[in-house]
Structures are given as C-alpha cells and as structure tokens.
Structure 1
Amino acid sequence: MTARLELINISKRYPSVVANDGIHLTVEPGQIHAVLGENGAGKSTLMKIIYGAVQPDGGQVVWNGREVDIANPSAARALGIAMVFQHFSLFDTLTVTENIALGLPADTDLKQLALRIEETACAYGLELEPQRHVHTLSVGECQRVEIVRALLARPQLLILDEPTSVLTPAAVDKLFDTLRLLAAQGCSILYISHKLDEIRALCHTCTVVRAGKNAGVCDPSQETSASLSRMMIGAEPPAVTRQARTPGAAMLSVNQLDLPKSHPFATELRDVSFALRAGEIVGIAGVSGNGQQELLAALSGEDMRAAPASIQLGEVAAGRLPPGRRRALGFGFVPEERLGRGAVPDMSLADNVVLSLQTPATIRHGFLRRHAIVQRAADIIARFQVKAGGPQALARSLSGGNLQKYIVGREVMRQPTVLVVAQPTWGVDVGAAAQIRAELLALRDAGCAILVVSEELDELFEISDRLHVMAKGKLSPSLDVKEASVTLLGEWMSGLWPQAQEAAHA
C-alpha cells in the first residue's frame, strides 16, 4: 500500500533553536497517527511544514507516492490536507460562517455554507451558531469552529493539534467517534496531544519526537502512560500530592452576581454566589459557553458592569474597579486565551512582564527599570523551565505550552493573595502540567486563594478542595472534591443539581 504521507529527513532551523533535525514520519491511509513530544520538541513546526505554513530547510515530503513542494496552506488544501491549529486562525470581527468562507472559493453562497456548518456541527456533536461573531466565543467554542472548518473540506489527511484541550469528556468521546469514522472511510489523521490516555485509546501508531529528533515509534495501545512518558521526556512526571488544609478568611466573595448579556450571543449570569478562602483551591467545571467567559471577565475587571458589592476582594467592594486597581489589591489572573489576552505576541517576554507587574520593582518615577524587568523574565524562564531564546524572545516565538508556562509563572511569582486561572494546563505536556499544578498547590499552601476554571476534569479532581459546576449562566452549590464524581458533575453540567441545595446555598 502506498503511504498517504512520508516525511524524509525534514529539518528546520531558527536563529535560537533547531526545531526539526532530520525527522522521518510515515502515515498510512486510514491511520490515526499520534505525534508525541514535550513542549518545544518541534511537533507543531513539523505539522506546519506539512500544511505549507512553514517551509523546511531540508528533506522531502512525499504525498500519495509523489514528492511535492507544499508552498502554502492553499496548496496543502488543494492536495486534501486540513489542519486544526492549537492557536486559532480566526478573525474576531467576522462571523463563524465568514471565517470558514475565507478558505473557500469566492463565489461560495454564505447561506448555503451556514446550513452546511450547522449540519456538520450537529452530526459531530459540536454545537455552533454560524452567525455569531468570533469575538463572542469562548476558547472551547473557537476550537469547535476550527474542527468543523476542517471537517467541511472532507480531507484525505486531517492534522489535529491539541484538539481536545478545551473539550468536555462527552465532547471528546463524540470527537473520537467522528475520527474513527473518518479513518474507516480512508482519511488519515495526524493527532498531537499531551493526553497520554487519549493517544492510547484512539491512535494506531505513535511517533515520539524529542528535542527535534525521532525518539521512537510504537503502538500506543501496547504502552502504558508511564512508558509513553518515559519515551517523551526521559522520565515519569512527578506525582502531585495535595495535603488537606484548613482554609482561612474569605479573600474573594461573589454575592448574587447578575449580569445581563453584553452582546446577543453572550450568556446571562444569574444569581452567581460563592466564596473563595485563603489556602484553598476551588474549581469550576462546565461545558464551554455556559457563562465561564462572562464570569472571568467580571472577576478580572474586563467587564465592570457588576454591582460594586457583588464582588468583594477582602473587605473592598470591587465590582466596578478596573483591572489595575484589582491587581493592587493582590489579585492575579491567567486568562484562557494565551496570545492576545495573556501575552502580546509581538512583545518580548520581558516586556510582557510589565503587563501584570506594575510596581516600584519594575516602574519607578514613571520610568521602566529595564534591568529589573529583564531579570524577572529570566527568573520566570528558569523556575518554570520555559524553552525560549531568553527574556528578549518574542512571545509568539514560543510553543503554546511554553508560553502557557511563562504566563502562569508570571502570575505565580507575583505572589498574589487571590489568583484566578482559566485552563491552567491547556496544551502543555505531562511534565509541565505536573509542575504547574504543583506550583498552584504550593501557592495555595502559602495562603493564596485560588479559583481554577477548567474543562479538564482530571485536573480539577487532582488539585481542587471544592468544586462548582457552571451551567446556563448559573453556578451549582459547592461540593467537596471527595464527594464528587465524573458522573455527578456530568449531570450537573446540564443544570440538574438539587434545587433544595441550590436554595440553601443562595
């Protein structure tokens, strides 16, 4: 059988790093092929070469038995290659339909396309509203747009870069059913994920990449998560341990928070109440698009429409305070969107420090203290093992996982009294995820009050002391993590929590 895709001795060098160093990869028709490696190993660069978004410095690309030069993504799509990027390539001011139309012929009928989008999204369990503008979507909803756009092309090769990072377990199961059906129909799938259990359950073959080189090929169904981890990073990730603590005073209180929709597609927040105490981690689970984005905007100060007393930082009514005032009160924030909200792509890592650390340590008498800022960036890079070309490296030059480590590190090293984190380990490898979770637990043990909003249930069970579920703009009662289960949280994600408990909570 002729291979669908064969990469021979592919190399790509950048000024500060060798991303790919003589990579070989073979994908057969109908095969689901995982590419596994730690953050910065060169996986995403390799996928972009296949998709024509990056040109290799050397090597051959063979497509269906014929050597090809994939000059750009249009050429890749013409061959039958589709890709879902980890960092989305969507225009905020356009609708879902308009974004998808950009890759299609100019005479595409938008009304017909909207119907196709709805049909495809419904068939694969990826709920979408074609007329919504992208800036109104959560990260999880943006992920759905990218997946549906790729599926509409009916590709011969589908490349998925961390496709489940912000999907719920039910949505992941539905996506896996879709991918298995596509493979059975002859479509080849290249699958990048740091979730080892997913790779073992879904993929037929796994190529491991370490430091830009081939480190091995295996059948993941015959491996354990521990053995895959050893192939990927040379060791098993350290175990994360959580000790029981007695929490202190309430550091963040949300009291009967009601917020009308800020745009037609937003989720209205209704009677959201909870308390976050010193020395505890509270997790919020839920399907993307149920009000998490709106709650995060209200807590961070991006949306200042809340009643002043509905959000309390310590003893201070903070509902109408701007973000800078909240930070001065000890508030820290890691948004779910890395590029654009968490970091400015075309600014250096050092300059990105100033976004959240505007104190006499970095600014004095109105002047930036460049040496102190660069040193802080260097300290974050060292402590969180960020693979970067140094403090002056541009944020956009980092892999997704390394940028995530940097942004989390930037907030953790501020030593906030309250930290709100959205999707803390989105797109990071197992070793980095363990490190981030350990850092959050250490910060909690030092007395910080931490709120984690995540669609990664395993993560929430691992680090949380208490859990809530968000559904349809409302927040469930608090549940001790020892009393929670995936089944129970799944029921609550539909809004089916006990009304008596809810009334008592209110």
Structure 2
Amino acid sequence: MSVRSSRNSTPRLELCHITKRYPGVVANDDVSLVVQPGEIHAVLGENGAGKSTLMKIIYGAVHADAGQIMWNGREVSIANPAAARHLGIGMVFQHFQLFETLTVVENIALALEGEFDLKTLASRVTSVSEKYGLTLDPQRMVHSLSVGERQRVEIVRCLLQNPQLLILDEPTSVLTPQAVRRLFETLRQLASEGVSILYISHKLNEIQDLCHHATVMQGGRVTGETDPRNETSASLARMMIGRELPVCSVEPYTGEVRPVLELKGLNYRNDDPFGTSLEAINLTVNRGEVLGIAGISGNGQAELLAALSGELLVDSASVLIEGAQVGHLHAGQRRDLGLAFVPEERLGRGAVPAMSLAENFMLTAHRDPQLRRHGLLSFARARELAARCIERFDVRCNGVKAAARSLSGGNLQKFIVGREIMQAPRLMIVAQPTWGVDVGAAAFLRQTLLDLSRSGVAVLVISEELEELFEISDRIAVLAGGKLSQPVPIEETDAERIGLLMSGVQAQAA
C-alpha cells in the first residue's frame, strides 16, 4: 500500500495554483502539488521546466506572484530561507555551500540559530550522523572531505534542525554507486520516521527505485503525476520529454588506429593546499575511440584538464599530440595542432555570458580561414556559421544574437560542443559533458561524441557520471588522489569496481 493510500493525515505541504513570472517567461504556471508525511516525492522535468523556481519558492528564496502554500494544513507565507527552516523545511543544494577552511562542526554552526557551544554541538553532530549512517568527524576540516562526506555535512546540518520536509536537488550527481546506496538507506529511514522528501533528479532509474510519487513538469506547468514504481524509464521519459528516451547507437570504428594524445609520466606539484598534485600519469587516446576518466571531484580533474588544454604548462615531453611534444605550448598553440576543448564551466570559460552566440562562436573558431579576410574577422561569416551550429546541433534559442546567458544549460552545452566539433578537431577533450542537462539533451550530446569518435577523432571525456561513461566509453580509467589507473575496456569492468576505485577502497592496481 502506498504512502498516499495508507495515510489519512493532513498533507505536509500543499501548493495551490502557484504562479511565478519573470520578464518574458512564466517560470511556474498555476502549479499545484501535494506532499504527504513520510513521502519521497520526485519532481521531474527538462531544464527550464520550472523545478528549481518551485523549490526556491518552497524554501523562501523566491516569492510567488500568485497562489497559496499550505503547511500542515494552514496557509503560510515563507519570507526567506530562515523562515523556511523555522517551519521545518531544509534544503540540500546540488552545489554544496561549505567553507573549505572551517571544520565540519563550524560549518554546521553557521546555519543554526540560538545559543550553543561547539563542544555540545560536536556531540550532537556525532550522535545524529551515527543514527542515520552518515558517519562524520566533527573536527575534520572540510577541505579534507570527499564529495560524499561533504554531502553528509549538508544533510546532517539540515537534520539537526529537525526538518519535516527535506528538499534534495540532484543529490547523487557526484556520488559513487556505494555512496548512492548509503544515501538511499538514509532517506528511507527518514521517510519511515515521517519526514517528507522532495527529490529532484534526472536519473530516472533512481526515481523508480526510491520515490513513492512523482510530479512531472513541462514549460512551467504540471503535466502529469504517477507512482514511479509502476513505470519504466521509457514511460517516465515520455511523460517528461514527450517522446521515447533516445538510446545511444555505438558503431565499431573501422579506420586506422593510432595514438593522438599521449601522456608520458606527467607530473605536477600543486602548491595550493586545497589542490591536488598529479603523479606519473600515463595515458594513450587513439583515433576512433572515446576514453572515459571517472573520479570524484577534487582528485586532480581540474589540474589534469589544465595540463591537457594548455592553461597549465608542464614538461614538454610529458604531453604529446600526434607525436609532437606540446607540454610547453599554451592553449592557442595546442588548438592550432587540432585540439578542441569543452570546459566544465559553461558560463565564464566555455562562453562569455553577455556576448551573443555569434560572438561566442568566434572565441575559439577565429582560426577558421572562413572567418578571416585580409587579417580581419568577418562578423557576417561568424553569424552564418553560428546559425549553422544552432541548426545542426538543435540549439533552442532566439537566434545568433541571443546572449549566451539566456540559454538553458543543456542548450548552451549543445552550442559549445557544436562550436568545437565544427572546427574539425583531431582531439576532443570534454569535461562533464552533461552536467545538469536533462535526459533528452544528454542523450543527444552523448550520441554526438560517439559519432565524432567514429569519424576518426580521439575523444577524452572526464565525467563524474558513471552511467554516462559506461554508455559512451570504449575504455575507462579512474583518477583518484592525483593518480590514474590503467584504462580497461568497458566490457571488462563494471560500475561497482569503478566506484570502489573512485572512493579509494581498492588499490589503483586493481
């Protein structure tokens, strides 16, 4: 019997006809939603469907223009997050809000109201963390914690405020399979004690496994409700994006196989106390393959990407592109040799927020002879190529004059990836290709990278999404503590083994 049918109590939370407008867009349009006590309730939708705005309204960070919020049967007005926490609403954001140079207990103290002393609070942290299987040392510095441990800090901080409703935004996007299982055990225990949970995720299999109920949103409106345990990933995808979930098609590469990128004993000593040093990294990426690198954030991914892209100069002989030593070359010189690069940060590094798409296209494509005439850049030609990119890669926007910041995350990512592909690279390096991207756009991007590799390009993907890496990679390696494991063919390993390598449980030799 479901939570809904077995409980006759007053709903924990009821949203009645919530509407929120911004200039030119209705983010939430007459949204109604009911969450019962002890219910794990998923909210599904593509990027731009209105999920984030709705969660911010519940948490008091945004105010609705119309509608009512009912909390335990009475109407409330939630002025700000502090008021939400006072009611019993806690939220764990996708991007953690912790101070690296403070201890666990000091970070938790920052969110608490009233009088307390750190010694007593540390004891409470230990007690609560042990009760829910979220083991934490209150005195550890946050910068020494893994991503999974940092998430525990955020959750324990919420639990110390005795929440009746916990909002989780993409909580498993950076966790190993083992950490995901531990998190789900905690959430089920909380639900059994009557805590309601609002769960936001793009991972449909998790929603099927965990949630009692799901509300589906499209274009700011509620378009459906269901019990996800009675659905398949395909049926949930149809409700969410209005069509079948695309499945990546992997064709064998039949062309010449030869090394394009080689790393030979790459070392980098990082003097940043919060950074990671790289130690004796060896790697070969061949034509026609996708090589995936898995790992938990903070294990050297940023340093490795900088060394590969040319933002960080290293020993010339430790990085080779098609046999040429390039470790001493800067980013522009490496691009001249056929390197294309998609950074993790779309706005600020992949694109300039205030610039138009046509202008952003020129940022890395200005080497294209089609864009230059007599030493000058052709803006007309840039607009033409940007329009071709928009059409070819299905970028939903208001044309080439649209500012980069006006696009959703998924559409901006499609534009950036498309811009790089249109430069006919020999080597493509992509970081977090589908971070925060909805299932439809994610499938498109993954297929695009596969197709690019099968055309003879060497593709290196660094991602924290294991499911993604297993879908598109030919070989996979793990970066942990600045050391890279030996890449293995995807058919010779599984997510469980890779997850253990990511968490450092197994030796790198495994």
Work out whether the TM-score is over 0.5. Answer: yes
1:294 maps onto 2:312 in alignment = no
1:32 to partner: Cα distance? 0.7
1:124 maps onto 2:146 in alignment = no
Matched residue, 2:417: 408
Matched residue, 1:451: 460
Matched residue, 2:494: 485
Q: 1:320 aligns with which of 313, 317, 328?
A: 328
User: 354-363 or 331-340, which moves further after superposition?
Assistant: 354-363
Matched residue, 1:311: 319
Measured in 2, the distance between the counterparts of 1:371 and 1:115 equals 65
Sort the Cα spacing of 1:127 and 1:95 in 2 relative to 1 into closer, same or farther, 3 A. Answer: closer
Note if contact 1:118-1:129 (Cα within 8 Å) is conserved in structure 2: no
Matched residue, 2:439: 430
Q: 1:78 aligns with which of 78, 86, 108?
A: 86
The equivalences for 1:269-418 within 5 A come to: 269-304=278-313, 306-359=314-367, 369-418=378-427
TM-align CA RMSD:
3.4
Note if contact 1:157-1:190 (Cα within 8 Å) is conserved in structure 2: yes
1:197 maps onto 2:177 in alignment = no
1:91 to partner: Cα distance? 7.4
1:250 to partner: Cα distance? 1.4
1:359 to partner: Cα distance? 2.8
1:24 to partner: Cα distance? 1.0
1:492 to partner: Cα distance? 3.7
Note if contact 2:98-2:142 (Cα within 8 Å) is conserved in structure 1: no
Note if contact 2:100-2:141 (Cα within 8 Å) is conserved in structure 1: no
Measured in 1, the distance between the counterparts of 2:371 and 2:264 equals 35
1:192-235, Cα deviation, whole Å (9 max, x unpaired): 11111000000010001122221111110011111111111111
Measured in 2, the distance between the counterparts of 1:151 and 1:328 equals 53
User: 382-391 or 359-368, which moves further after superposition?
Assistant: 359-368
Matched residue, 1:255: 264
Sort the Cα spacing of 1:367 and 1:172 in 2 relative to 1 into closer, same or farther, 3 A. Answer: farther
Q: 1:156 aligns with which of 150, 164, 172?
A: 164
Measured in 2, the distance between the counterparts of 1:380 and 1:286 equals 31
Measured in 2, the distance between the counterparts of 1:392 and 1:147 equals 42
1:123-177, Cα deviation, whole Å (9 max, x unpaired): 42689995356xx999878766655554554422221221112221111111111
1:69 maps onto 2:77 in alignment = yes
Measured in 2, the distance between the counterparts of 1:149 and 1:377 equals 46
1:454 to partner: Cα distance? 2.0
Sort the Cα spacing of 1:183 and 1:338 in 2 relative to 1 into closer, same or farther, 3 A. Answer: farther
1:52 to partner: Cα distance? 2.2
1:297 to partner: Cα distance? 2.4
Q: 2:55 aligns with which of 47, 50, 63?
A: 47
User: 422-431 or 208-217, which moves further after superposition?
Assistant: 422-431
1:45-87, Cα deviation, whole Å (9 max, x unpaired): 2112222222222222222222222233333223222223345
1:11 maps onto 2:24 in alignment = no
1:400 to partner: Cα distance? 3.7
1:223 maps onto 2:231 in alignment = yes
1:374 to partner: Cα distance? 4.5
Structure 1 stretches of 5 or more lacking a match? none
Measured in 1, the distance between the counterparts of 2:250 and 2:366 equals 32
One-letter code aligned to 1:461: F
Structure 2 stretches of 5 or more lacking a match? 1-8
Q: 1:180 aligns with which of 178, 185, 188?
A: 188
Measured in 2, the distance between the counterparts of 1:344 and 1:466 equals 33
SS state of the match for residue 62, structure 1? strand
Matched residue, 1:243: 251
SS state of the match for residue 328, structure 2? coil
Measured in 1, the distance between the counterparts of 2:100 and 2:364 equals 24
One-letter code aligned to 1:299: L
Measured in 2, the distance between the counterparts of 1:343 and 1:128 equals 39
Note if contact 1:141-1:289 (Cα within 8 Å) is conserved in structure 2: no
1:382-411, Cα deviation, whole Å (9 max, x unpaired): 444344444454444444444433433333
Measured in 2, the distance between the counterparts of 1:11 and 1:140 equals 35
Measured in 1, the distance between the counterparts of 2:137 and 2:381 equals 47
Measured in 1, the distance between the counterparts of 2:146 and 2:398 equals 31
One-letter code aligned to 2:69: V
Sort the Cα spacing of 1:193 and 1:143 in 2 relative to 1 into closer, same or farther, 3 A. Answer: same
TM-score by length of 1: 0.86
One-letter code aligned to 1:385: D
1:103 to partner: Cα distance? 4.1
Sort the Cα spacing of 1:473 and 1:207 in 2 relative to 1 into closer, same or farther, 3 A. Answer: same
Matched residue, 2:5: none
Sort the Cα spacing of 1:140 and 1:173 in 2 relative to 1 into closer, same or farther, 3 A. Answer: closer
Larger radius of gyration between Structure 1 and Structure 2: 2
Q: 2:36 aligns with which of 23, 28, 35?
A: 28
Count of matched residue positions in the alignment of Structure 1 and Structure 2: 497
User: 267-276 or 62-71, which moves further after superposition?
Assistant: 62-71
TM-score by length of 2: 0.85
1:113 to partner: Cα distance? 6.8
Sort the Cα spacing of 1:454 and 1:144 in 2 relative to 1 into closer, same or farther, 3 A. Answer: farther
Measured in 2, the distance between the counterparts of 1:319 and 1:482 equals 32
